Structure 1
Amino acid sequence: MSLYGTMRTGVSGMNAQANRLSTVADNIANANTTGYKKASTQFSSLILPSTGGAYNSGGVTTDIRYSISSQGTFTYTTSTTDLAINGKGFFIVEGADGQEYMTRAGAFTPMDDGTLRNSAGFTLMGYPYSSTEDPTIVINGFAGLEKINLASGELNVKASESGYLHVNLPSNEAHPYSKATSLVAYDSLGNTRKLDFTYSTTATPGEWNLSVTYTDDSGAIHDMLSPTPDTAIVASPAAATQEALSFDTSGKLTNPTDISTFGMTIGGGELNALNISIGGDTGGSTQLASAFAAKGDIDGIGPSGVAGYEISDDGIVYLKYENGDMAPKYRIAMANVQSPDNLKPLPGNVYTQSPDSGVVVMGYAGNGGYGTILSGALEDSNVDIAEELTSMIESQRNYTANSKVFQTGSELMEVLVNLKR
C-alpha cells in the first residue's frame, strides 16, 4: 500500500464531491429557470491492479448527466406567446449567430420586428402555413425553416375561394314558388360582393332549380354559373343558368353536393371562382314541410388590421384581425432525437445534437409522437429543491470524510519521515 496512493485517493474523492456540489449549485441557481433540465453527477470506481499482496488504492471518476427527457410542471400565464410542450420534442430557435438550436424554454415575447424571441435571445422558427398541404419537411435538418413573424403593418385582404350554403326548401309550397337568399364574398381588393342564390320549384316534385347571380352598381345582373359572367344578362335572375337540385323521399339533397361559380373582374378586382357546398352527409340542404331556412358562409377577409394572435395545440399560428377573422400564417416546427439526455447543453438553455444523441428528426406538434403545444403556459424547471439540498449535505459530509483520508495519509507520511530521527 502506498501512502501517496492513499492521499491521491482522498483527493480523487474530494474532486468528485466538488463536481457533485457544482451540479447541485447549478440546479439550485436555475430552480426557477423556464425549461431548465437538471444535471446530476454519476460516480464510477477507478480500481488499480494490486501486486505482491500490496493493495493499490484507486479512486473515483465522475460523469455529468442531464435529465433533459424529464418533463417539468407547467405554470400558466396570460401571454399567448408563452409556450410549453406537453410531451416529447423541442422548439427550434435561431441564435444571434444564425445557427439553429433546440430548447424547451418557451417564454417568447413579440419584438418590434414581429419575431418571437425568448428571454435568452433565441428566435422561434417555423414553416409558412398552407391550407392545402403541409410543407415538405427536411426530416433530419433545419432547411426550409423561417422566423415566425407576427408583424403585419399593412391591411390584410384574402379573396374568397369557397363556402357553404345549407337551406331547407318548403316541400308544401305550391308550384310555382321561388325564394332567394344571399351570401357575401370578397374580391382580390377586399370589396364585398353580394351573391344572390334563388331557389325555384319545378313541375316535378322533389326537384328544384338554383341560380346564382350578382347585381353590379348599375343594376345589371351577372350570371355566376355561366362561363362568361362578365357579360351582364340585364334581366331577372330567372333568365340565369339553372342548376337542377334533386331530393330523395326523405327530403335529403342527393345531387349535386356542391356548385361552382365562375370568376369575374369587377372594378379592377378579381372575384375568384367559388366552390359552394350545398349538400353533404350532415347539415346539408333539405326539402321538408317547414318554412324556408338558410345558413351559410363564404371565406375571405376584407381590409383589416391585425388585432392579436392565437396559437393552437398543434402549433398553427393564427393572426386575428380587427373584423374578427382569423388567418393561419405559420406552423411551429418541432424536433427530437433518439436520446435526448445525451444532447449537448449550451448557454441560454439550448441544445445541439452530439455523437451520442442521435440525429435530429423534425415534425409537428401532436403528430408522430411529438407532444402538444400549450399556449399561455411555461414549463418549469425539473429541479427538486429538497432533493438538491439533501445532495448538498451528503456531498459536504463525503468531502469532509475524504479530506480526513488525505489528512490521515499526510500524518502517516510524517510519522514515516520521523523514523529516521
Structure 2
Amino acid sequence: MSISTALQTAFSGMRAQSYAMGNISGNISNSQTPGYKSVDTSFADLITAQSSKQAVAGSVVAEARFTTSLQGALRATGIATNMAINGQGFFTVRQMTGEAKFSGVPLYTRRGDFTLNKDGYLVNGADGYLFGSNLDPATGSLMSSGPIKIANSSLPGRQTTRIDYSANLPKTPGTAASASGDRTPYGLASAVVTDPALAAPDVGKKVPAGQAPSFLDKSIMGPTLTLYGAGGAPVSFSTRWAKVQDAAPSATPPKNAIWNLFYASSAAAAKSSDWINVGSAFSFDSSGKLVPPASATVSADGRVSLKIPQVVVDGSSVGDITMNLAAGGLTQYATSATAVTTNTLTQDGSAAGTLKSLSVTAEGTVVGTFSNDMTAPLATVAIASFANPNGLRAASGGSYEQTRESGPPIDGLNAATLVGGNVEASNSDVAGEFSKLIATQQAYSANVKVMTSAQQMMSDLLNAIR
C-alpha cells in the first residue's frame, strides 16, 4: 500500500467515524423524543487489491442501520387521548397545509402523544393529525373517514325497549291486608283481577283508581325503576305484584300459584292511580319454578321474554317493553322473606347526555363517556403496518413515508394492541450510545494518527529526495 493510499484510507475512516458520531449525537439528543427510532451505523470495508499472496485493505464506508421496527418502552402519561402501539404498526397522520386542508401524502408515526386541539382534532406533538373513522355516537355507524374530530358531542336520549329482571317472590306475601288480619285470598275481587283460571289476563285490564287503596293493601312492591320515552324523557315506572291464586297440589286438577304484575299509570299519586295489568299470568309449580306464560317466548337456554304493551305513565308514552327473565330468574322459593327479593333490575334506555371524558380501547376505538353515565364509540384509529418497516423513509417530526423497500401499508392492528393513556418512549439507549461514543472517538483519533504518520513519512521522503 502506498503512503498516498494510506492517507486516503485514513481519511475515509475519519469520514465514516464522523458519520457515526452524527448518528450517536442524534440518538442522544432524541432520547426523550416520543416514538423516536435510533439510527445505528454499519461499517463495510472496500478491498482495493487482493491476490493469493497479498490482500490490501482499502477504504471504509459507513451506512445507516435503521431500528424503526424496534419498540421503545411504554410510559403512562395520565392523558386519556395519548396512545401507544404495543407491537408492530404505525399511526396514520397527515399535516395540515391550509384552512382545514391536509396534505395528500399519508405519514406513519409511532409518536402517540395525541391531544385535542381547539378545533377538536387529535394532533400529536409534531402537528400530525390522526386519521381514522368518525362514528355516530348514537348508532355506532360510520359517519366519515379522515382526520379524527371529537366535537362537543352529545348523546341523544335512548328509548327504553328492554327490562332485564330476576327476583324471588315470597310464597306468603306480607301485605298490609294480611298484617291487619285480613285472610281473604290475595286475589282481589274478580272485577279487579282477571280470573286466574285463564291462561293469561286480558292485556291492559286495570284496577280502577277508586279501588287503588284496596289493591295496594293486598299486593306487594315489585320492580321500580326509571324508564325513558322517545327523546330520553324520564318516566318513573312503579309496579306491584298481586298473588291471585295459591298453589293447591292436592286439588283436582292440581293448581299452581299465580301472580299478576301491575304498573301505576300515574307515578306521582299511587293511591289515586289506575294500576294496569301487564297482561301475563306468572305461574309457579309446587317446587317454585316459573311456568312460562302462554304469551312469553322461551329460548333454547331457558330465557323467558314477554311483552308489556304500550306503557303510558303520566301521559308519557314509553311504548312496548320486553321483559327478559334469565333461565331460573323468576322463582317462588320458600324463604323467610315476605317481600320480593330482587336480584337483577336493569333497562336499556337513557336520558340525553353531554361528553365528559374520552378513553381508548385496545382495539383502537375512541370511546366517549357522557353525563348520563353512558358510553359510546366516537372514532376508530387508523393503524398501518409494513412488511419491512425499516425500509420506510424518515420524515420530520418522527414520521415516515412509504417506499418501495417498505412495501404497501397493511391496514389494521393485526397482532398489536393500543394502550391508552401511554406514549412510546424513544428506543435510544443513552448508556449504549455513550459506549459507542467512546469507541467512535478512539477510532477517529486513531485515523487521525494514521494521517499524521503518513504525512510525516511523506515529508521524510521529500526531504530525502532534496
TM-score, normalised with respect to structure 1 = 0.77
Distance between the aligned counterparts of 1:34 and 1:253, measured in 2? 63
**Deviation (angstroms), 1:116:** 1.5
Residues 378-416 of structure 1 show CA distances to partners (whole Å, capped at 9, x for unaligned) of 222122212111211111110111122233333334444
The equivalent of 1:81 in structure 2 is 81
1:22 maps to what in 2? Answer: 22
- 2:377 corresponds to 1:332: no
| 1:308-340 Cα deviation digits (max 9, x unpaired) | 223334433222223333323223333322333
Tell me if 1:389 matches 2:434: yes
Residues in 2 aligned to 1:111 and 1:93: alpha-carbon distance in whole angstroms: 15
Determine the structure 2 residue equivalent to 1:189: 231
**Unmatched tracts of structure 2, length 5 or more:** 97-101, 174-184, 188-217, 246-254, 293-297
Percent identity, please.
Answer: 25
Q: How many residues align?
A: 395
Say if 1:35 and 1:170 are closer, same or farther in 2 by CA, change over 3 A. same
Against the structure 1 CA distance between its residues 268 and 209, is the aligned structure 2 distance closer, same or farther, given a 3 Å change threshold? closer
In the TM superposition, what is the alpha-carbon distance from 1:213 to its structure 2 partner?
Answer: 8.1
Cα distance, 1:87 vs structure 2: 3.3
- Residue in 2 that maps onto 1:410: 455
Which amino acid in structure 1 is aligned with residue 63 of structure 2? D
The match for 1:369 among 399, 409, 415 is: 415
| 1:306 matched to 2:355 | yes
CA RMSD of aligned residues (A): 4.0
2:425 corresponds in structure 1 to 380
1:277 equivalenced with 2:304 (yes/no): no
* Cα distance change, pair 157–126 in 1 and its aligned pair in 2 (3 A): farther
Greater shift in the superposed pair: 3-12 or 260-269? 260-269
Whether the aligned pair in 2 keeps the contact of 1:194 and 1:214 (CA below 8 Å) is no
**Which amino acid in 2 is paired with 1:237?**
I
Change (3 A) 1:153 1:83: closer
AA at the equivalent of 2:229: D
Letter of the 1:193 counterpart = V
Letter of the 1:50 counterpart: Q
Task: For 2:91 and 2:53, locate their aligned partners in 1 and report how far apart those are by CA, in whole Å.
Answer: 58
User: What does residue 259 of structure 1 align with?
Assistant: 306
User: Is 2:133 the counterpart of 1:127?
Assistant: yes
In terms of Rg, which structure is larger? 2
1:293 and 2:341 equivalent?
yes
Tell me by how many angstroms 1:100 deviates. Answer: 3.0
Cα gap change, 1:175 to 1:35, in 2 (>3 Å): same
**3-state SS of paired residue (1:348):** helix
SS class of match (1:24): helix
AA aligned opposite 2:13:
G
Map of 2:215 onto structure 1: none
Kept after mapping to 2: 8 A contact 1:115/1:123: yes
8 Å Cα contact 1:189-1:270 kept in structure 2:
no
Q: What's 1:104 paired with?
A: 110
From the superposition, tell whether residues 5 and 373 of structure 1 become closer, same or farther in structure 2 (CA, over 3 Å): same
Structure 2 distance, partners of 1:407, 1:123, is: 53
Distance 1:65 1:243 in 2: 77
Q: Which residue pairs with 1:231 in the alignment?
A: none
Deviation at 1:2, TM superposition (A): 3.4
Aligned to 1:36: 36
CA change 1:299–1:101 in 2 (3 A) is farther
Instruction: State whether residues 131 and 381 of structure 2, in contact with CA within 8 Å, keep that contact through their aligned partners in structure 1.
Output: yes
Shift of 1:37: 1.7
CA gap of 1:243–1:80, structure 2 versus 1, over 3 A, is: farther
Moved more, 25-34 or 169-178: 169-178
Give, in angstroms, the shift of residue 24 of structure 1: 0.5
State the secondary structure of the residue aligned to 2:436.
helix
Q: What's the CA shift for 1:26?
A: 0.6
Instruction: Identify the residue that residue 123 of structure 2 maps to in structure 1.
Output: 117
Q: Distance in 2 between matches of 1:206 and 1:353?
A: 73
Q: CA deviation at 1:22?
A: 0.9
Q: CA deviation at 1:134?
A: 9.0
User: 2:373 & 2:86 partners in 1: Cα distance?
Assistant: 29
Counterpart check, 1:152 vs 2:167: no
Contact 2:311 2:321 in 1 (8 A): no
SS at match of 1:288: coil
Name the structure 2 match of 1:356: 405
- 2:197 is matched with which residue? none
Aligned counterparts of 2:313 and 2:120: Cα–Cα separation in 1: 34
Asked if 1 retains the 8 angstrom alpha-carbon contact of 2:89 and 2:416, the reply is: yes
Instruction: Return the alpha-carbon distance in structure 1 between the equivalents of residues 377 and 404 of structure 2.
Output: 37
Output the CA distance in 2 between the equivalents of 1:253 and 1:21: 83
- Measure the CA separation in 1 of the matches of 2:134 and 2:321: 24
User: Are positions 1:169 and 2:218 aligned together?
Assistant: no
Go from structure 1 to structure 2 and tell me whether the alpha carbon gap of 1:272 and 1:379 turns closer, same or farther (over 3 Å shift): farther
Report the CA distance between 1:43 and its aligned residue: 1.3
- Structure 1, unaligned runs of 5 or more: 137-143, 220-233
Partners in 2 of 1:15 and 1:247 — Cα distance?
Answer: 93
- The residue identity in structure 1 corresponding to 2:397 is G
Match of 2:394 in 1: 345
CA shift digits 1:119-154 (9 cap, x unpaired): 111122333458999989xxxxxxx74333332265
Q: How does 1:240-259 map to 2 (within 5 A)?
A: 240-242=278-280, 249=287, 251=289, 255=298, 256-259=303-306
Q: CA deviation at 1:193?
A: 3.2
C-alpha change, 1:183 and 1:403, in structure 2 (3 Å) is same
Counterpart CA distance in 2 for 1:415 and 1:53 is: 29
Distance 2:291 2:451 in 1: 92
328-337 or 30-39, which moves further after superposition?
A: 328-337
Equivalent residue letter for 2:168: N
Normalising by structure 2, what TM-score? 0.71
Using the alignment, how far apart are the partners of 2:450 and 2:458 within structure 1?
12
